[in-house]
Amino acid sequence: MRNEVSSFNLFSKDEEFGNVELFFLFTPYQNEHVRSSNLESAIWGEKKTILYNPSSSLCVKNFMNIKTLIFFCAALMVVGCSNDDGDKNELNPEWRYFRFSSCPSETHGRWQDSSFVAATADAAVIQQCLDQLSLPLEQRNMFPLGQLGQGYAGYNTNASHQFSWHLIENDWELVELGAEIYDGCAYSDVELTNYIESVGRYGGWGNRVLEEITLDED
């Protein structure tokens, strides 16, 4: 028999619910390794299970009954949904948001490099940004430099792309000079080469403030 439940594909080799052999794909973990201890904690009854996740696929054998299977699938979906906004901070009403240019798309051939967003409530940094915005773009000579944090924090996006990083609020400022090790493009360098782990800070020399933005909050 074959059933489909949400993002799971379920297969059984026999009609007996006492022992079923299943293969299913759980899409929320497509970029992560599933921790077997978490999965096993959701399984009731006999624990004769085989779990593996080489590429977001799981093999599970010998569930005690179909009710266990239904509970197991529901638990995984709840975990997946609860992690969707795991890297989203609670937005501070005092923060102000500024979009910065990064690298032209043709530099690496990736449109995601073109801009990113940073937030701050630091009055001095806000004034720096406003002063730069009062100048023609070609006369703006300062770029943001600061500590990197995990996740897009609810605002660091470029069109449909949510960055895997953000400049930690109130821990960045506009500068005219910075170490070359912190230079780079917002997506091709900071994200794809994991500046969070390898460098810890970001300050692209060519980044310039483009505009102050207002977030559309749901």
Q: What pLDDT shows up at residue 29? A: 36
| Model pLDDT, residue 74 | 54
Res 6: pLDDT: 37
Q: Which residues of the chain have pLDDT under 70?
A: 1-89, 217-218
Per-residue confidence (pLDDT) for residue 63, from 0 to 100: 37
Which candidate, 141, 145, 140, places its Cα nearest to that of 120?
A: 145
Number of helical (H) and strand (E) elements in the chain, helices listed first: 5, 12
pLDDT value at residue 76? 46
First to last CA, the chain: 42
Per-residue confidence (pLDDT) for residue 105, from 0 to 100 = 87
* 0.85 exceeded by pTM: no
Q: Tell me the C-alpha distance between 27 and 34, whole Å.
A: 11
How high is the pLDDT of residue 145?
Answer: 98
Helix runs in the chain, H state only: 36-40, 66-82, 105-108, 123-133, 195-198
**Tell me, what's the pLDDT at 89?**
61
pLDDT at 217: 53
